[in-house]
Structure 1
Amino acid sequence: MMKLQDKLQAYRGKGKAILATNFYNLETLKGVLSAVKAIDVPIILQLSKSSIDYIGLEIAVNMAKSALKEFDVEGWVHLDHGNSPELARRCLEAGFDSVMIDASEKSFQENVDITSEVVAAAKKYGAHVEAELGYVAKLGQSQGNHVFTQPEDAARFVQMTGVHSLAVAIGSAHGFYKDPPNLQIDLLDEIRRATPATLVLHGSSGIPDEMLRRAVAHGITKINLATEIKDTFMKSLRRLLETSSEIDLRKVFPPAIQSVTELIQSKLRGLI
């Protein structure tokens, strides 16, 4: 199978993007992969530290890889928002295809140093490495204090670290939006011209399809989706439980799984 860094570069050349979806349990994993199988596109399966702590590292990565094989789809397993080189190393040792190290809230030089350490660790595995530069508001943080990624900083950062992909701050935020999102497409264009790294958009939940397509056309090759998956699954489950006294998990989960499948199918069709 093609390495993720090579696949993303190929997509950059074609003006296309791969959807990267977080999963939280077997049910959300099945919901995602059912959609991917139906539409026949590649997928990046993402695990955050919280999900790894919840599921267990070995169980999580083996579940993802087994599911990719079972559904017979092209995909990779990725650490989302890794908060330390130690966690990145653990994931690489466990068989992750890709890791993200997020030191974006530290100084530029600290971000460079920490990212460089992870890039060096990933080399012996041939793994893909993603980093973040600029301010992309996380859950609970203010969405108004934008510190956009600057093209010259992106160029320096990629050259100094050797990172494959860069998550850029162009107006998106994690979680749902309080105000309509407004991606800085002109800035994205400048960043794309400044660096050969593939560019990543975090915080796509709630961004209209047309805006996502514009971002892809102007340089985004990986689109992260997480919040909408959790929200869709739980809303479906709540609706069913409000009108049912069923206690068999195998009967109450399938409709919620289907709701995730429909969400991902919609997202994927929106990108085609």
Structure 2
Amino acid sequence: MPLTGTGDTVAAAAAAGHAAAAFNIIQIEHAEAVITGAEAANAPVILQISENAVRYHGALAPLARAALAAGERAGVPVSVHLDHVTDPALVGEAVELGLHSVMFDASTLDYADNVKATADVVARCHAARVWVEAELGEVGGKDGVHAPGVRTDPVEAAAYVAATGVDALAVAVGTSHAMLTRDAELDYGLIGALRRAVPVPLVLHGSSGVSDPGLVEAVGRGMTKINISTHLNNAFTAAVRDHLAAHPATVDPRRYLGAGRAAVATEVTRLLGILRQDRQDRPA
């Protein structure tokens, strides 16, 4: 099946009243697992490559090209997204490689500098028909997700979108990256207020820390793109540990990586079923 633009996948999810699922990948087994899980759910999916993953591999091209090639062979729509990039040069490389979207993260800058840097990236990417996500607020800020001032302000968010021209906005509503437990306390009232104020899709980062019911509620209140990474790494690593414990003589990486890949595929299918439930209209 031909690769699909991230913007098309997100727009279709919004029109259908559910969420687009975006799963981070670190190696080819992750990409294969996510696609296999999406095919079992008969659902489109977004493969995300973070700047940290690029740093791990030493370059974007090898993993990005592998993800694009895997997506081309998929039986469901697949798009490839560069996640949490802070280096504009890496954005340019993603555009040249043919990635469908980028998430440019200037959230650590003050507001004016964030707007300027993001608007510059948006102009370059839109010229190449590449969809752009940005962030306002601190997802898992240095002083904690519930510290004063780290949440995204709806009025400021609307002004930010107008000033930068971004296609989607990641917002800080109580999640944190790399959570190993699923007990994040989301501010659902704030999600509703942001949905009413912001004219582009809202993105939930740090979704690994959100329970299944919490994900359903977040989507119901207005989140349209849901990013998940650590939760899948948990599933992958647990399956590898179990395999090696049961088969201590194993030396062929395909054996234990295959177990990890199968575990991730199963969890992707399950999560897609949750995220693609019809949105419930609830009071914010």
Task: Give the TM-score category using the shorter length.
Answer: over 0.9
**Any idea what SS the aligned residue of 2:151 has?**
coil
Q: 4+ residue runs of structure 1 moved beyond 6 angstroms?
A: none
* Corresponding residue number in structure 1 for 2:17: 15
| 1:200 counterpart (203, 212, 215) | 203
Aligned ranges 1:117-196 → 2 under 5 Å: 117-137=120-140, 142-145=144-147, 147-176=150-179, 180-196=183-199
Aligned length: 271
| 1:115 counterpart (111, 114, 118) | 118
The Cα of 1:160 is off from its aligned counterpart by 0.2
**Any idea what SS the aligned residue of 2:207 has?**
coil
1:238 matched to 2:244: no
Distance between the aligned counterparts of 2:271 and 2:164, measured in 1?
A: 32
Unaligned runs of 5+ in 2: 278-284
- Would the aligned equivalents of 1:15 and 1:218 in 2 still touch at CA under 8 Å? no
Supply the AA of the counterpart residue of 1:213. V
Distance between the aligned counterparts of 2:166 and 2:36, measured in 1?
A: 32
The Cα of 1:256 is off from its aligned counterpart by 1.2
| 1:255 counterpart (253, 256, 259) | 259
For residues 71-118 of structure 1, the C-alpha deviation after alignment (integer angstroms, 9 at most, x for no partner) is 222011111100122211111111110001111111111110111011
**Any idea what SS the aligned residue of 1:71 has?**
coil
TM-score by length of 1: 0.93
For residues 106-137 of structure 1, the C-alpha deviation after alignment (integer angstroms, 9 at most, x for no partner) is 11111101110110110121011000001101
* Corresponding residue number in structure 2 for 1:214: 217
RMSD, aligned CA: 1.8
**Any idea what SS the aligned residue of 1:238 has?**
helix
Unaligned runs of 5+ in 1: none
- Would the aligned equivalents of 1:130 and 1:166 in 2 still touch at CA under 8 Å? yes
The Cα of 1:257 is off from its aligned counterpart by 0.9
The Cα of 1:206 is off from its aligned counterpart by 3.0
| 2:52 counterpart (15, 37, 50) | 50
The change in CA–CA distance for 1:10 and 1:270 in structure 2 (over 3 A counts) is closer
Identity rate, percent: 35
The change in CA–CA distance for 1:15 and 1:201 in structure 2 (over 3 A counts) is same
The Cα of 1:178 is off from its aligned counterpart by 6.5
- Would the aligned equivalents of 1:204 and 1:224 in 2 still touch at CA under 8 Å? yes
Supply the AA of the counterpart residue of 1:262. T
The Cα of 1:177 is off from its aligned counterpart by 5.8
